[in-house]
Chain A
């Protein structure tokens, strides 16, 4: 017998033996249990939770306001090598053009190939990306791996700036999981899960040294979220 079959047969027997003493319950439906929502002002709730997690939220009304936030940030941090993702909100705000006008060294993810991307990813000072969604209740940004937005973009540079449209905000963590399905139903806004779906709640943290909080031990030490309303 294959190791797999022996393994599963043993588990099956153990389940049967154990079920005699316990009971084989039904898989429960959650209904509304645990759904908290975000209250009347989801953007404010998001900003509050993100701040509690150590990240920064900047609410802007247009491209000029967005650049007024990002421009000084880039100067302050002396970021030279910028890694730029590709997402509709970045296009709408014209972030790529503004970066080039500012004379920065911009590497657009679209121009990279597997063969040359590793060094670029590791050497970037700052990553700029869109997001898939925002979750107000937890203050999280949701990143989905795709060719134009690789995992490294929000992970390897020491500073990450994420751009989102207020339309992308979801009240509760449970709402995010309603948007993906292994077998999407036609007519509903659902897609299969991407290869990597990452929920990011604040900058990278460790408390391993006497519980002293240190940010940036592996992932970005600084996280900014620019929300376009």
Chain B
């Protein structure tokens, strides 16, 4: 069973130190993020007016969030019309209970699941197992980390922290064979094992990439085809969606399909984009007989009411992770939440708490690479700065406020200001070297320990300005 405590933690600095010391992980992260970013650039290069398409996608998301209640009701009505059922989950606990109840009522004993971050968010697997329902992850990477008892460390490459050797070991332990570390043999072993599960599973559980209010369609995007198998073989399909995944119209879907695949890997389209509109219809030979859509809040409505609403536009492509100089060094597990990278640094403090995750809003150089990479242009730096402000709001530092009071006093009195400048220059002279302070004493050491500070000029600008002014007149 998954040990959530191991990967869901509040020890950012500890997790970071561990990741930085792991040479194998460093290599894997560089390979992954370089490859995906290069793909991303190639993918967007094939879309001549991708900037306008991004703007369009963002405008759709903004509009949807501004009328979210209306679109959820429309989605519900469309799903009901198709013969599906809709459930509302206020919390993670609600979602677990609803899905376990569906499984029990439909007499399901075994479940297959296609990759879903939302199901990770609600800790679904242990709840199903506790209720006596076997659940198997079917994305190959997710299957490996399920066997290893871990959590995903990247939105689209969940097992990036595992090597071919460790995957061979994990699979060999599971099958009792001695498997070589050949990627093809390992992946096809996964196929063989999971085919048996697909053959017999009663219940298929998926996330939702997009849900179309107008038609009641849910959309799954995968490269392996596990999303299709999960919604083809079992007789019951449960789709769990964060409520922000709804989009208004059928014609909005290709906009997001074009952007999602490019953002994630640079493909023009992922291998399988599956648009499911209700359960299996009369005379059809496969597909689920029952379709249940579970719509999750779990803190989203709280965020919807704030200026952090923009974070709900995320389509979970992972582009901001690949672009982020921090993620590229520390990987997903160091963040301590379900969602990692720049977007995780916003989502985790908002949904968990800022006080328990004090380092996350600071896990960014504010370079803006995340915002540039985002297919829906989420202004991640703005929200990180906002969270930093919230963090310190109402908690003034006494030394800092004393310093600002002194600063104010000096600025209000020109004679004192001139005196202070003179004093500063005299004080600074012995410490400056080649125009820079590199080592200062006392509390200001905290600054010079980590960066240099330019020394004041020999003649202040004020003096030079007077001369210049004189010359001009």
Contacts and interface: CB of A to CB of B under 8 A. Distances in A.
Is this pair of chains taken from one and the same complex? yes
Interface of A: 3-4, 6-8, 10-15, 17-19, 21-28, 30, 33-34, 36, 49, 53, 109, 112-114, 117-118, 121-122, 137-140, 145-147, 150-152, 155-156, 173-174, 176-178, 180-182, 192-212, 214, 216-220
A196 B276 contact: yes
Contacts of A49: 268
Contacts of A14: 68, 301-302, 304-305
B184 A214 contact: yes
B217 A211 contact: no
Contacts of A201: 267-273
B403 to A, nearest CB: 33
Contact of B187 (A15, A145, A151, A206): A206
Most chain A CB within 10 A, of B46, B76, B214, B225, is at B225
B173 interface: no
B232 A155 contact: yes
17 contacts: A13-B305, A24-B67, A25-B59, A28-B63, A30-B56, A33-B56, A34-B56, A36-B46, A36-B47, A112-B285, A155-B229, A193-B215, A193-B275, A197-B274, A199-B275, A206-B187, A212-B164
A195 B280 contact: yes
B309 interface: yes
B461 interface: no
A219 B144 contact: no
Contacts of B217: 193
Given A34-B47, A150-B286, 11 more contacts: A7-B90, A109-B285, A196-B287, A198-B273, A198-B275, A199-B273, A204-B225, A208-B140, A208-B159, A216-B187, A219-B229
A15 B66 contact: yes
Nearest to A209: B183
Nearest to B270: A201
A217 B255 contact: no
B280 A211 contact: no
Contact of B268 (A139, A151, A174, A196): A139
B279 interface: yes
B309 A22 contact: yes
A14 B253 CA distance: 25
Contact of A15 (B68, B199, B281, B286): B68
A146 B297 CA distance: 35
B315 interface: no
Interface residues of B, number: 102
Nearest to A19: B66
Contacts of B67: 15, 24
A205 B280 CA distance: 26
B47 A114 contact: no
Nearest to A34: B53
Interface in B166-194: 167, 183-184, 186-188, 190-191, 194
Contacts of A202: 271
Interface of B: 28, 31-32, 35, 46-50, 52-53, 56, 59-60, 62-63, 65-69, 72-73, 76, 78, 86, 88, 90, 94, 138-141, 144, 157-159, 162-164, 167, 183-184, 186-188, 190-191, 194-195, 199, 214-215, 217, 223-226, 228-229, 231-233, 243, 248-251, 253-255, 257-258, 267-281, 283-287, 295, 297, 301-302, 304-307, 309
Contact of A180 (B86, B167, B250): B250
Given A15-B67, A218-B224, A151 B72 contact: no
A193 B218 CA distance: 12
Secondary structure type dominating chain A contacts: loop
Contact of A204 (B138, B250, B254, B271): B271
Contacts of A140: 269
A201 B267 CA distance: 9
Given A4-B88, A206-B140, A212 B183 contact: yes
A186 to B, nearest CB: 18
Contact of A18 (B195, B268, B280, B309): B309
A218 B72 contact: no
Contacts of A195: 276-281, 284, 287
Contact of A177 (B248, B253, B268, B305): B253
Contact of A199 (B94, B250, B269): B269
Contact of B62 (A22, A117, A121, A204): A22
6 shortest interchain CB distances as A-B pairs: A219-B225, A208-B141, A17-B305, A24-B66, A34-B53, A218-B225
Contacts of B60: 27-28
Given A7-B90, A22-B307, A152-B286, A198 B272 contact: yes
Contacts of B68: 11, 14-15
A210 B73 CA distance: 43
A210 B28 contact: yes
A4 B194 CA distance: 36
B223 A205 contact: yes
Contact of A22 (B66, B138, B232): B66
Contacts of A176: 254
B32 A30 contact: no
A33 B55 CA distance: 10
A147 B140 CA distance: 30
Contacts of A205: 223-224, 271
A194 B214 CA distance: 14
Nearest to B222: A218
B184 A3 contact: no
A145 B113 CA distance: 21
Contacts of A114: 285
B269 A196 contact: no
A154 B281 CA distance: 18
B255 A30 contact: yes
Nearest to A175: B254
A27 B63 contact: yes
B254 A25 contact: no
B286 A34 contact: no
Most chain B CB within 10 A, of A12, A13, A19, A208, is at A208
Nearest to B81: A182
Nearest to A117: B285
B305 A36 contact: no
Most chain B CB within 10 A, of A12, A18, A121, A200, is at A18
